[in-house]
Structure 1
Amino acid sequence: MQLPDGPQAPAMLQMIHWIAKPFSYMEACNQNYGDIFTVPLGKKFTPLVFVSNPQALQQILSSDTKEFDASGEYNELFEPMLGNQSVITLSGKSHRRQRQLMMPPFHGERMKAYGELIAEITEQVLHQWEVGKSFSVRSFMQQISLRVILQAVFGLYEGERYHKLEQLLSMMLDQSSTPGRVSALYFPILRQDLGAWSPWGRFLRQRQQIDQLIYDEINERRDQPDDSRTDILSMLMSARDEAGQPMTDTELRDELMTLLVAGHETTATALAWALYWIHKLPEVRQKLLEELDSLDNPDPSTLFRLPYLNAVCSETLRIYPVGMLTFPRVVRSPVELMGYQLEPDTVLVGCIYLTHQRQDLYPEPKQFKPERFLEHHFYPYEYLPFGGGARRCIGMAFAQFEMKIVLAKILSSCELALANNRPVRPVRRGLVSAPTDVQLVVTSQRVQRTPTPETISV
């Protein structure tokens, strides 16, 4: 077997480049080796084959469980935070079982019920903004997305447990984004508990406190069942698999952490990028406002279908996708891919970022152009910000729904402008990407066409 070519620098140096500057690393590899290349970024520097060709991605992602295995074994980077019973880290039947148990809360009527909650939380955060004062966009978007997750997932609105979870999760996620903490995920030898002041020791103690709060909530629900509750935790606790078995407490904890971490961090990042582009490009903002102002009563279902708002959100997730890669796939039986004969145990990852930067699909890919999504339909293997196949993000519809409601609420409520002209660029934040600090300033309040409580309602 001959793997595709790739950079020949020492594996350690390549790993450091990947951790510190993932975008320049991917672009350099793509420029030198094309749509498929091999890099030493796997476990113990096991080679990974990066693929960004849409036809090859279709072959890989549409053949899950056949020629390719979407094994959770290669998602071990997520295990320290999410646990080994998360839908992300499980494989085979266990993965399919958990995914089936988790799907119902993210579809149908449940989605509509979240709209009012998202709008109310956004309104609460908007009240903290003062005219003439600048603020860090990401910080406030994190507040919104974390509160949405805590209230929609846990059904927690106030109280000591709510505030402790909010504080601890914010601290842990911020600290997990540092280069040192990311390096510890890639290099297990760095995971040394040297006490509460050491980076890994601090992480373990924060995780322990969060776990205790989650298990206390689960135990309280079991002791005091309430059939009227409609939050996701209650639905997961009542869910049963094909054998009639519920999730264990450990499974519940790991899936809750998965929803808390993945649903909070990714949506906050996407919202920060969207607000940057909207205010960087006046014509984009103007078109959005015209579309929003044309509505008499923009309820969540109407907002979700707005074509230009959808195009702005889609282009935001294209240009710098929060998730840079798909989850790995492992070759199960000999297969040909792009002219290469790949043997079993070869590990492949779809490179979402490079696919979204293809000149043949997205002319002038570095330019923010929402019109792309009005003029052309992109196939699932050309545009895949939420991954694809058996590992596509369960919360995709929820994230898109939240983005649209939050953006509509903000744009309808106040006039904003970039606080400075400093360039904003994509950087690594933990295991995903994010913009450098985006600062906005409130220039004035907008006059609402309809009373504020009913601006976005169910």
Structure 2
Amino acid sequence: MKLPNGPQSPAFVQMLRWVFSPMSFMEECAQRYGDIFSLRLQSNSSPIVFVSNPQALQEILTSDTKQFEASGELNQIFASLLGKHSVITVSGAQHQRQRQLLMPTFHGDRMRNYGQVIGNITEEIINQWQIGKPFSVRSAMQTITMRTIMQAVFGLYNSPRAQELEKRLSAMLEKGSSRLSAAMLYFPILQQDFGPLSPWGQAMRRQQQADQLLYEEINERREQADDSRTDILSLLMTATDEAGQPMTDEELRDELMTLLFAGHETTATALTWALYWIHKLPVVREKLLEELDKLGENPDPSTIFKLPYLNAVCCETLRIYPVAMLTFPRVVRTAVSLCGYELEPDTLVIGSMYLTHQREDLYPQPKQFKPERFLERQFSPYEYLPFGGGARRCIGLAFAQFEMKVVLAKILSRLELGLVDDRDVRPKRRGLVTGLERPIQMVVKNQHTVKSQILESIAG
């Protein structure tokens, strides 16, 4: 079998490039080898095939469990953080079970009930911003998304345990976003606990402290059952699979950790990028304000969430630099032809969402932020896939999109902001996902006077 072409440098060198500069590495490979190429990221493992062709992605993602099966092997990189029972780290029948237990908690109607929570939390945070005083956009967005997910997942807000858990999780996220932390996950040899002064030892102790709080909350809920609670933890504790079995405490812990990380870090990054682009390009901000202003008095909240230009801005934000760079890996089950190559069983295949979103044939001038792309045409799920696809598509995508729109509408309706530093910002690795290469600071210039009814509808 002849695998697709790829770099000939040693696996260790390729892994270093992947850990420290994954996006530029992928772009170089795409420019040299095209829609499909192979990378050797471990000396003792077979090369991994990267794909960015939409037709090939459609074949991969619509053939889940047939010609291509989700690979649990590579997903184990997340196990030290999320646990071995997370919907991300399990595969096969166990993944299907966990996904079915989680899905009802993210039903669209249920998510819309959190509109008031998101609006109130956003209001609380932006009320702390002072005119003329710079603030960190990412820190503010992290606070909003963390408190939102804490309320949605636990129904906890401003309780002592919620505050302590928020503190512990925030520390884990901040420390885990470094390239060293990413290297420790990709190079198991670095996962050595030499005590509280060693990087891995510190990471494990932070996680143990967060775990203790999670298990305390789970135990308390079991002892004091309350059928009236509608937060995600309460719903998951009462959910049962087809055999009538509920989740164990360990399964609950792993899914809670997954929801807290996936539902907080990613959305905070996307919101930071959105605010950067909106204020980097005045015409984008003007169009958004015009759209909000046209709603008139007492607009229906669902109208705000369906605003076409606001939706286009969110879509373009998630396109240009997607927070997740790759689909979850698939393994070839039966020999298949892909982009002119015959792939044998057991070949690992990964879809590059980043490269697909950078294709000139789909997105002319892909490095330019142009929300109009999403007004002019509709992209297929294999041309635009910031939340992945197939059986592994992110179950929280509706909630993430909903939260982005509510937060942005709230901020833009209330405040006139400006970037402190107007220099271009590029993406870089942030832990296992992408982030911004430098902190973004903004300053409040003035109060904005878009129809006050908009604010009331978002909060109500």
Query: 3-state DSSP class of the match of 2:161?
Result: helix
Corresponding residue for residue 339 of structure 2? 338
Query: 3-state DSSP class of the match of 1:321?
Result: coil
Residues 441-456 of structure 1 mapped to structure 2, 5 A cutoff: 441-447=443-449, 449-450=451-452, 454-456=456-458
Distance (whole Å) between structure 1 residues aligned to residue 44 and residue 119 of structure 2: 46
- Structure 1-normalised TM-score? 0.98
How has the CA–CA distance of structure 1 residues 332 and 151 changed in structure 2, closer, same or farther, with 3 Å as cutoff? Answer: same
Corresponding residue for residue 319 of structure 2? 318
Corresponding residue for residue 245 of structure 1? 245
Is this contact kept in 2: 1:298–1:456, CA < 8 A? no
Is this contact kept in 2: 1:419–1:441, CA < 8 A? yes
Is this contact kept in 2: 1:196–1:205, CA < 8 A? yes
Q: Which moved more, 1:243-252 or 1:72-81?
A: 72-81
Distance (whole Å) between structure 2 residues aligned to residue 94 and residue 344 of structure 1: 22
Corresponding residue for residue 374 of structure 2? 373
Corresponding residue for residue 439 of structure 1? 441
Q: Aligned partner of 1:446: which letter?
A: H
Q: CA deviation at 1:43?
A: 8.3
Q: CA deviation at 1:41?
A: 2.3
Is this contact kept in 1: 2:54–2:356, CA < 8 A? yes
Q: CA deviation at 1:451?
A: 5.8
Corresponding residue for residue 4 of structure 2? 4
Corresponding residue for residue 62 of structure 2? 62
Distance (whole Å) between structure 2 residues aligned to residue 216 and residue 311 of structure 1: 42
Q: CA deviation at 1:42?
A: 5.4
How has the CA–CA distance of structure 1 residues 4 and 417 changed in structure 2, closer, same or farther, with 3 Å as cutoff? Answer: same
Task: State the Cα deviation string for residues 271-300 of structure 1 (Å, max 9, x = none).
Answer: 000000000000000000011111223454
Q: CA deviation at 1:449?
A: 2.4
Corresponding residue for residue 134 of structure 2? 134
Distance (whole Å) between structure 2 residues aligned to residue 452 and residue 50 of structure 1: 45
Matched pairs, number:
458
Query: 3-state DSSP class of the match of 1:420?
Result: coil
Is this contact kept in 2: 1:42–1:48, CA < 8 A? no
Q: Which moved more, 1:81-90 or 1:34-43?
A: 34-43
Unaligned runs of 5+ in 1: none
Query: 3-state DSSP class of the match of 2:113?
Result: helix
How has the CA–CA distance of structure 1 residues 453 and 368 changed in structure 2, closer, same or farther, with 3 Å as cutoff? Answer: closer
Query: 3-state DSSP class of the match of 1:442?
Result: strand
Corresponding residue for residue 256 of structure 1? 256
Is this contact kept in 1: 2:165–2:213, CA < 8 A? yes
Residues 230-309 of structure 1 mapped to structure 2, 5 A cutoff: 230-295=230-295, 296-309=297-310
Distance (whole Å) between structure 2 residues aligned to residue 201 and residue 423 of structure 1: 37
Distance (whole Å) between structure 2 residues aligned to residue 352 and residue 197 of structure 1: 37
Q: CA deviation at 1:131?
A: 0.4
Q: CA deviation at 1:237?
A: 0.5
Query: 3-state DSSP class of the match of 2:452?
Result: coil
Distance (whole Å) between structure 2 residues aligned to residue 243 and residue 43 of structure 1: 42
Distance (whole Å) between structure 2 residues aligned to residue 312 and residue 395 of structure 1: 19
How has the CA–CA distance of structure 1 residues 74 and 43 changed in structure 2, closer, same or farther, with 3 Å as cutoff? Answer: farther
Q: CA deviation at 1:161?
A: 0.8
1:391 matched to 2:389? The reply is no
Distance (whole Å) between structure 2 residues aligned to residue 183 and residue 161 of structure 1: 32
Q: CA deviation at 1:145?
A: 0.5
Corresponding residue for residue 423 of structure 1? 424
Distance (whole Å) between structure 1 residues aligned to residue 311 and residue 43 of structure 2: 38
Corresponding residue for residue 174 of structure 2? 174
Query: 3-state DSSP class of the match of 1:103?
Result: helix
Is this contact kept in 1: 2:410–2:455, CA < 8 A? no
Task: State the Cα deviation string for residues 353-380 of structure 1 (Å, max 9, x = none).
Answer: 0000000000110100000000001000
Which runs of 4 or more aligned residues in structure 1 lie more than 6 Å from their structure 2 counterparts after TM superposition? none
Corresponding residue for residue 151 of structure 1? 151
Q: CA deviation at 1:450?
A: 2.2
Q: Aligned partner of 1:362: which letter?
A: Y
Distance (whole Å) between structure 2 residues aligned to residue 41 and residue 124 of structure 1: 45
Q: CA deviation at 1:10?
A: 1.4
Corresponding residue for residue 163 of structure 2? 163
Corresponding residue for residue 30 of structure 2? 30
Is this contact kept in 1: 2:289–2:450, CA < 8 A? no
Q: CA deviation at 1:20?
A: 0.9
Task: State the Cα deviation string for residues 429-451 of structure 1 (Å, max 9, x = none).
Answer: 00000112111111011135226
Task: State the Cα deviation string for residues 144-197 of structure 1 (Å, max 9, x = none).
Answer: 000001110011112221111111111111111111111010000101111112
Is this contact kept in 2: 1:112–1:300, CA < 8 A? no
Distance (whole Å) between structure 2 residues aligned to residue 457 and residue 166 of structure 1: 23
Q: Which moved more, 1:37-46 or 1:285-294?
A: 37-46
Distance (whole Å) between structure 2 residues aligned to residue 45 and residue 309 of structure 1: 44
Corresponding residue for residue 354 of structure 1? 355
Distance (whole Å) between structure 2 residues aligned to residue 294 and residue 239 of structure 1: 43
Kindly report the root-mean-square deviation, in angstroms, between the aligned alpha carbons of the 2 structures. 1.2
Q: CA deviation at 1:422?
A: 2.6
Q: CA deviation at 1:73?
A: 2.3
Q: CA deviation at 1:40?
A: 1.0
Task: State the Cα deviation string for residues 181-220 of structure 1 (Å, max 9, x = none).
Answer: 1101000010111111211111100110111100100000
How has the CA–CA distance of structure 1 residues 42 and 102 changed in structure 2, closer, same or farther, with 3 Å as cutoff? Answer: farther
Is this contact kept in 2: 1:318–1:356, CA < 8 A? yes
Distance (whole Å) between structure 1 residues aligned to residue 5 and residue 288 of structure 2: 45
Query: 3-state DSSP class of the match of 2:302?
Result: helix
Is this contact kept in 1: 2:413–2:454, CA < 8 A? no
Distance (whole Å) between structure 2 residues aligned to residue 452 and residue 404 of structure 1: 13
Query: 3-state DSSP class of the match of 2:394?
Result: coil
Distance (whole Å) between structure 2 residues aligned to residue 270 and residue 300 of structure 1: 22
Identity of aligned residues (%): 66
Distance (whole Å) between structure 2 residues aligned to residue 104 and residue 353 of structure 1: 29
Q: CA deviation at 1:452?
A: 8.0
Distance (whole Å) between structure 2 residues aligned to residue 162 and residue 133 of structure 1: 29
Q: CA deviation at 1:76?
A: 1.0
How has the CA–CA distance of structure 1 residues 155 and 26 changed in structure 2, closer, same or farther, with 3 Å as cutoff? Answer: same
Q: Aligned partner of 2:109: which letter?
A: E
Is this contact kept in 2: 1:299–1:457, CA < 8 A? no
